[in-house]
Every structure is written in structure tokens, then in C-alpha cells.
Amino acid sequence: MDSAVSDPHNGSAEAGGPTNGTTRPPSTPEGIALAYGSLLLMALLPIFFGALRSVRCARGKNASDMPETITSRDAARFPIIASCTLLGLYLFFKIFSQEYINLLLSMYFFVLGILALSHTISPFMNKFFPASFPNRQYQLLFTQGSGENKEEIVNYEFDTKDLVCLGLSSIVGVWYLLRKHWIANNLFGLAFSLNGVELLHLNNVSTGCILLGGLFIYDVFWVFGTNVMVTVAKSFEAPIKLVFPQDLLEKGLEADNFAMLGLGDIVIPGIFIALLLRFDISLKKNTHTYFYTSFAAYIFGLGLTIFIMHIFKHAQPALLYLVPTCIGFPVLVALAKGEVTEMFSYESSAEILPHTPRLTHFPTVSGSPASLADSMQQKLAGPRRRRPQNPSAM
């Protein structure tokens, strides 16, 4: 998982901007406020809409449309695997040329980002196609072997509308590949985050507590205990973090003094918040108390992170503040309403996801939800069937 929030102003190069031995001019208060406010807003969008889409995803009838479910065993192993991956990346950057590593990563995330962004914008774009639009069905099929031994490698069904979304996403992909512009980076980062919240499901609240608790320790150790996470975050040229320039008012779109927020600090709390939304729906009370409580807790926790970072002028592990608030606030509400037993006995896979496949392995790209994107890639590239895109409503 990436470094939480980084504060690059007052001469620091935390955000990975170019350094030439000179001290940056201090960012203006207006620029700092704009950057932090924008990061907060960008973090909230994929959590809110990803949670809504997770409900629709969970109610899918086709097995190929089902999300990946994280069990308690997976949750307990993930911080260990993430730590090994993070340390491996750190050593890789120390031993090998950073330029060639980032070239390979850029090509990988170029493809993955296009798929993720296309999947993200597809429901919105479908509303703009006229009824008379000539929508044809296509199928991309790769097999191995012949006869009875024939095995499907890729079986991807899509239509003309999907091709239009793929084309638009490819424009952003080329822009990112050629310029590494921060706007293109954020478009891919938002797409990864939204897809992560939508497609990665916790099976119950206890699993969520295990995952968040383990990553709480992971985040604190790698940010405060070593310089590994911040070094990897600055060296890793991939859309695994959201960035926003603090000198935007002075330099416009060519600004380069960035504050950043790792995608791990969006997706990990986000999948827990999405679980609480599905729990709200399972109560059948036509309220979304736990979802709104956890969503407000996330805003409070991230705001507290930014405040502490601004005071101490040091990158902060956001999960240090997000985990206690995102777990503590809903549990306090459950205690007040007498629904603690219902909350911890709720099984998402049993009530809404009767045939959800279990997530049996974790990706090895990095220790953040950019790393979780590998399982998302399997979801996007795997076989699927078309089904009506009904808008989610709370």
C-alpha cells in the first residue's frame, strides 16, 4: 500500500516532483487548501459510487458477473504479502535502473488503466447513446488445444458501445503514456479505486476488521518505521496514487508541486464502507445509517490525517486515522441501536452473494489497491455475459 498523504510544500519533494538542488517556494495557503480539498473530494467519489455499484454487482445472477470475495484467511495474509511485495519493489528500485522498471510498469498500467476506465464509464456512457444507435455484439475467444482437450483462455463478449468506451479510454491511456500528466494519472487512479470498491467484497464485518487492523499496523510501520514506502511511492511512476498540485494557481496545468494520496487509503476503507451499505440493505429498514456513518467517519479520518500532516510537515499513514474512525463510528452506532450482534453475524456472501467465488490469491504488483487491480484485471478480462445496466438507487 502506498504512502497515505504526502505534504510536499515548503521545499519538500515528497510528491515526486523534479528536484534540482534548489528549494521550492512555499505554496500559498489558497493552493494548499485547494490541493487538500481536491484530494478529499477525489477520494470520496469512488467510495460513494463504488459502494452503490457493489450492490448491483452483488445482485448479479450470472456467476461470471460475481465479485471477488475476501475471506478472513485472505485478510490475515494480505498485510504480510503486501509487505514482502513493497520491500521487493524497494530493493528492485535500488538495484536496477528505475527508468526501465517504470517503462515496463507504464505499459502494464496503460493496458490495465484503459480496461478499468472503460468499465467505469460504460454505465454513464450508455445513457448518451440514442435508441437508434447500431449496437452489435462481438466475442473475443482464445482457446488452447483441440477436441475434448480444448480449453478457453479468453472469452470476452462486448458490443459496439463497449468499443466506443474503450476508444475514449485509449485516448486517456495514450495521454498518460506520453506525458504522465497528473490529470491522466488521476483518471486512471479514480477508475482503479472505483472498480476496486465495486468488485472486491468482504464477506463479513469481522473480516473487514481483520483486514483494516492488519493494514493499520502495516501502514504505520512502513511510513514511520522506515523510508521504504515513501521511497517506492516517489519512484513508482504508475497511477497508484491520486495527486493534486499545490501550485496550480501559480503554474496552471503544468504545476509540479504535488500532494498525494495512495489508492490503498481509498479502496481498503472503501470496501468496508461498501460492506456496511449491503448490511444496511439486508436490514430492510429503508435506511442507510451505517453507510452514512462510515462515510462521514472516512471524511473525518482523512481530514484529521491532512490536518496532522500539515501541522507536523511529514507524510502520514492515513490508515492510522481512518481505521479507528471507520470501524469505531459504526460500532458505536450499532451499540446505541442494539444491533451489534446483527452487524457481526451478517454474511454478505450468504445473503446477497450466494455463489460468489472466493478470492484465493493476492496480486503481486504492489502493496496497494493498485496491486489489488490484478484481481480486478481478471474480472475485466474474463468471460462475461451481458446484462441490463440498471442504475443503483439508495
- Catalytic residue annotation: 219, 265
DSSP 148: G
What CA–CA distance (Å, rounded) separates 188 from 172?
8
What CA–CA distance (Å, rounded) separates 303 from 308?
9
Residue 244: beta bridge partners?
A: 259
Rg, Å, the chain Cα set: 21
Burial of 137 (0-12, 13-18, 19+ CB in 10 A): exposed
Max Cα–Cα distance, the chain, nearest Å = 69
**125 touches 386 (CB < 8 A):** no
Pick from 105, 154, 5: nearest CA to 373 = 105
Helix axes 98-125, 160-179, angle to 10 degrees: 150
**102 touches 110 (CB < 8 A):** no
* Secondary structure element (H or E) that encloses residue 138, with its range: strand 137-144
* Count of other CB atoms within 10 angstroms of residue 156: 15
CA 91 to chain centre: 25
What CA–CA distance (Å, rounded) separates 43 from 270?
9
**293 touches 336 (CB < 8 A):** no
Phi, psi of 202 (to 5 degrees): -80, 140
